[in-house]
């Protein structure tokens, strides 16, 4: 086996997981939607049609025609739980019969809790034009399986952070039509580890570690139509093609596999995040009650593969599918100082049976939300929200193989299950204006 082939075989299995991240508290797969405490209180049901910087992430037109400088800052505490259970995963070492993968058969709460911050500010330029800036972290989480867990050949520890800076501009064309556009400048950084099997079960596992980062750019555009009691919002967030450059380390391989131990720099992995097409409507049923609805089409098919450049040169299929989320909710102004909110959201997973692995233990989910806003003064309001997210049980069943395509190919036939997964998300924020 030549050096280039060994690099390809050793690195491909590591980089194939480079962007395959998930979080049980998120909107879908590895996307985070918790970018506003106000939005969280109604289950993200009216964001593209609402106004002000709290809605900038969903629709850059939201700040057109604002009166004075406005800002929003929020933080969400994400508390996920659940178990990833082994139902009979086996490993087939060369020349040996299939054997149990071993390890702890139940991984409990592998997705770590965390705090997600976000913020926006908007400044009017005249009566119709406004500029804004949003800071968000749309793809961020950490999973940490125990040493020796049954998942170790697919996933050990994963850490992803994505920082999105969105400068926006919006213009009120008429009293009833607002339009806007934005750039999405994203920095992604990731670190992951997982075990590699030696050829004998009596030997300890090897280990591989991969880390990388990169800057890339996308765009957003939107419009709002204000028709009296009804406001319609339409927006589109583009897919972003990420190119992460990183380092790969493989250690602990023994015997005939020892030649694959390496430290490799300059590895490139490219992948695309999904586009989003968002439709939202807000209906002022009375002077105190507003009803909200929002539908999002996610272009997850853009995440169909991870393409790996020199010196590996391979492509890893992911086979994600496009999917939808649906949300409904309300805002009820109890008095001039207090507004109550609630909502429900359903989101389908883009992962497919047969392709779901422990790095992406994703499934369809329901999100039940409640929240409130307290107007502290004419210039400041506090937003709070609580969300309970319930996930359907789903199979963990993506097969893998170490050293694929060689005489020492070692298949791992994954047979697991995501069970009893849920999350509580507590959000707190403040809105100000001058």
Question: Tell me: the pLDDT tens digits for 117-173?
Answer: 999 999 999 999 999 999 999 988 788 899 889 999 988 988 888 999 999 999 999
The DSSP code sequence of 139-162 is: S-EEEEPPTTBTTTTT-SEEEEEE
Nearest alpha carbon to residue 179 among 48, 28, 310, 313: 48
Report the 10 Å Cβ neighbour count for 259: 12
Tokens representing 367 are 């999100």
> Which residue matches tokens 């009293």?
175
CA–CA gap between residue 212 and residue 243 (Å, rounded): 9
**If you count them, how many residues does the chain have?**
434
| Contact (CB, 8 A) for 80 and 23 | yes
The DSSP symbol for 11 reads H
User: Which regions of 285-415 does DSSP assign to beta strands (E)?
Assistant: 289-299, 305-308, 314-317, 323-335, 338-347, 365-377, 380-391, 394-396, 400-402, 410-413
| Contact (CB, 8 A) for 89 and 47 | no
The DSSP symbol for 113 reads P
| Contact (CB, 8 A) for 393 and 49 | no
Alpha carbon of residue 403 to chain centroid: 30
Report the 10 Å Cβ neighbour count for 239: 17
CA–CA gap between residue 327 and residue 345 (Å, rounded): 4
262 forms bridges with which residues in the sheet? 250
CA–CA gap between residue 137 and residue 22 (Å, rounded): 14
The predicted model gives 55-70 an average pLDDT of: 97
Tens of pLDDT along 201-221?
Answer: 999 999 988 888 999 999 999
Classify strands 262-272 and 305-308 as parallel, antiparallel or unpaired. Answer: antiparallel
Tens of pLDDT along 253-305?
Answer: 999 999 889 898 888 888 899 999 999 999 999 999 999 999 999 999 998 87
CA–CA gap between residue 365 and residue 392 (Å, rounded): 6
Nearest alpha carbon to residue 192 among 161, 157, 160: 157
CA–CA gap between residue 279 and residue 263 (Å, rounded): 47
The pLDDT assigned to 305 comes to 79
The pLDDT assigned to 318 comes to 80
Classify strands 275-284 and 230-237 as parallel, antiparallel or unpaired. Answer: antiparallel
Report the 10 Å Cβ neighbour count for 393: 12
The pLDDT assigned to 26 comes to 54
208 forms bridges with which residues in the sheet? 194, 250
CA–CA gap between residue 304 and residue 297 (Å, rounded): 16
| Contact (CB, 8 A) for 74 and 420 | no
The pLDDT assigned to 10 comes to 46
Residues 6+ apart with CB under 8 A from 29: 21, 22, 300, 303, 320, 349, 350, 351, 360, 362
- In this prediction, residue 311 has a pLDDT band, given cuts at 50, 70 and 90, of low
More confident residue, 231 or 403: 231
Considering the entire predicted model, what is its pTM?
0.91
The pLDDT assigned to 17 comes to 41
Nearest alpha carbon to residue 161 among 177, 141, 180: 141
The pLDDT assigned to 312 comes to 64
The verdict on domain 3-80+110-392 having CATH code 2.70.98.50 is no
């Amino acid at each position: 086996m030549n050096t280039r082939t060994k690099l390809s075989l050793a690195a491909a299995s590591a980089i194939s997981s480079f962007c395959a991240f998930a979080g049980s508290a998120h909107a879908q797969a590895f996307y985070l939607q918790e970018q506003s405490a106000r939005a969280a209180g109604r289950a993200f049901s009216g964001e593209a049609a609402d106004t002000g910087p709290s809605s900038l992430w969903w629709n850059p037109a939201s700040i057109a025609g604002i009166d004075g400088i406005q800002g929003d800052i929020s933080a969400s505490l994400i508390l996920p739980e659940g178990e990833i259970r082994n139902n009979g995963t086996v490993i087939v070492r060369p020349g040996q019969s299939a054997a149990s993968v071993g390890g702890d058969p139940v991984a409990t709460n592998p997705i770590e809790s965390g705090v997600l911050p976000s913020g926006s500010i908007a400044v009017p330029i005249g009566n119709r034009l406004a500029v804004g800036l949003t800071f968000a972290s749309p793809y961020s989480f950490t999973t940490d399986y125990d040493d020796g867990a049954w998942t170790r050949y697919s996933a050990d520890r994963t850490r992803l952070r994505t920082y999105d800076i969105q400068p926006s501009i919006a213009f009120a064309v008429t009293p009833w039509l607002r339009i806007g556009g934005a750039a999405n400048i994203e920095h992604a950084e990731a670190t992951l580890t997982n075990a590699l099997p030696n050829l004998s079960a009596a030997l300890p596992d090897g280990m591989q570690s991969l880390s990388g980062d990169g800057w890339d750019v996308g765009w957003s555009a939107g419009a709002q139509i204000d028709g009296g009691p009804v406001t319609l919002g339409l927006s589109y967030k583009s897919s972003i093609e990420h190119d992460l450059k990183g380092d790969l380390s493989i250690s602990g391989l023994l015997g005939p596999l020892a030649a694959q131990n390496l430290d490799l720099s300059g590895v490139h992995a490219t992948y695309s995040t999904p586009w989003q097409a968002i439709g939202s409507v807000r209906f002022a049923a009375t002077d105190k009650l507003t009803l909200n609805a929002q539908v999002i089409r996610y272009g997850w098919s853009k995440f169909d593969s991870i393409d790996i450049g020199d010196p590996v040169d391979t492509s890893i299929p992911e086979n994600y599918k496009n999917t939808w989320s649906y949300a409904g909710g309300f805002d009820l102004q109890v008095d001039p100082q207090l507004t109550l909110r609630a909502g429900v959201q359903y989101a389908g997973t883009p992962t497919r049976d047969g392709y779901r692995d422990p790095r992406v233990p994703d499934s369809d989910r329901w999100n039940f939300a409640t929240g409130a806003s307290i107007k502290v003064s004419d210039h400041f309001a506090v937003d709070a929200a609580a969300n309970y997210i319930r996930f359907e049980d789903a199979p963990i069943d993506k097969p893998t193989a170490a050293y694929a395509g060689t005489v020492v190919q070692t298949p791992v036939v994954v047979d697991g299950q995501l069970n009893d997964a849920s999350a509580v998300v507590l959000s707190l924020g403040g809105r100000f204006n001058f």
